[in-house]
Structure formats: C-alpha cells, structure tokens
Amino acid sequence: MKKKRILLKLSGEALMGDQLYGIDPKRIDDYAKEIKEIHKTGVQIAIVIGGGNIFRGISGASKGMDRVQADYMGMLATVINGLALQNALEENDVPTRLQTAIKIEAIAEPFIKRKATRHLEKGRVVIFGSGTGNPYFTTDSAAVLRAIEINADVILKGTRVDGIYNEDPELNKGAIKFESLSFDEALSRGLKIMDTTAFTLSHENNLPIIVFDMNTKGNLKKIINGEKIGTKVYI
C-alpha cells in the first residue's frame, strides 16, 4: 500500500559520508534528491534527524559532563543538521520548514502540532529539530512521538545497512536478515532497532517501522511505492 504521510528518521552520522565528523555536502545533497523524488509523488514528509555527527549527549556525559547540559548540546546539534538539510532541500526546490522543540525563533518555528500538520497538507517538508526538547530522551523517541502526533502512516528509519539482522552484518558476513518482524519477536530476540522508550511507544501506538538502507539510490521511492525494501516491524 502506498504511504500518504511518513516520518523519515535519519541519523546524524549518516550525514558525515566518508568524513570523520561534520556534514558531507554531497551526502546531504544526495539525501535531498532522494526526498525530492518522493515529494513529487505527493507523499507528505516529516523528518527527524540526529546530531551524532556533531555531538552526542550521552557520550559527553560519559566523559564527565553534566548529562542535562550534554543532552541540550546534542539537541542543538540536531538543529544544525536540520538547517543543513533544509538548505539542501530548498536548493533542490523542495519547500521546507524547520520546527524545533526548543524556541529559537530567529532560525526556526517552534513546534506546534497543528501548524506542522498544515505545512504537510500544503506540500511542505517539515523537519523536527532539537529532539523532544527534554534531556534523557533520544531522537528515536522524538521521531516516534512526532510521528504519532502528526498521524504518520509509518516510520522509515534510514540507516547504512539494508534492514535488521540477527547480528551486526558489518561484523559478521553470515548474519541473517529479517524480511519482517513483529514487535514481540524483536523484543524477545533483543534486537536493537530503537531505544526501549521509542520502541515501546511505537508498539503501543501500532506504528510500524521500516528499517532500510538510505544510501542506496532509489530505496526511499521503492518503499513509498509499496516495494518490500529493508525490514518491516509491525504489531
């Protein structure tokens, strides 16, 4: 079934490309072009992006920083990535709005559910920055929360591997890929798809997740058109 409204979750690390940190202009432009392809089909697109390519709060806390301060720094990193993606999309003629859970009126709108929904209805891509706006919550949790709030049909989690495996396929070439999984199966197998809070919230709200390789050209459009790409997690 063709998707009408999606929440695309991207990791900050994905924006690094082959660099050790920061934003690779080519990688972010490639993503913008992939998003443009599905935008042209009329699908409504919301995006949550991480900040791990710039700063990861939990990593800072592990090195002695105050966890709350470190998490706020991570939230600001997601805003930087959101601005970069917004710019790349607009350079590709895709109308885009950036909304943040932390008020930064000079560069982004504050998150307002009704306004976000209206932007989507008008054909604008909406990027949600600064996570949930609260420390101790990941951008995975923010993605699920925003997807529920805007009544998205599905969460598409773009990664650098082509689905969910029983082991890390980058470490074990013999790892077995799952074509689909129930939430209960994923939990019983202890598969790390999202953090526990995000995964539980998605489960409780019957919100399916598709994990796929965002770096393979055309994958995003194939998913939107109903092709079986990646791994689907469902009730």
Write down the pLDDT at residue 2. Answer: 62
Q: Is 0.85 topped by the overall pTM?
A: yes
Contacts for 195-203 with beta carbons within 8 Å, 24 or more apart?
195/138, 195/140, 195/141, 197/137, 197/138, 197/140, 197/141, 198/138, 198/140, 198/141, 198/143, 198/144, 199/140, 201/141, 201/144, 201/145, 201/148, 202/144, 202/147, 202/155, 202/233, 203/235
CATH number of the domain enclosing 115 = 3.40.1160.10
Number of domains into which the chain is organized: 1
pLDDT band at 181 (very low <50, low <70, confident <90, very high): very high
Do 101 and 91 touch, CB atoms closer than 8 A? no
Q: Is the pLDDT assigned to residue 1 strictly greater than 70?
A: no
Full residue range of the structural domain in which residue 28 is found: 5-234
pLDDT (tens digit, 9 = 90+) per residue, 88-141?
A: 999 999 999 999 999 999 999 999 999 999 999 999 999 999 999 999 999 999
Q: pLDDT digits over 38-95, tens only?
A: 999 999 999 999 999 998 777 777 788 899 999 999 999 999 999 999 999 999 999 9
Let me know if 37 is exposed, middle or buried by CB neighbors in 10 A (0-12, 13-18, 19+). middle
Mean pLDDT of 182-192: 91
Amino acid at 114: R
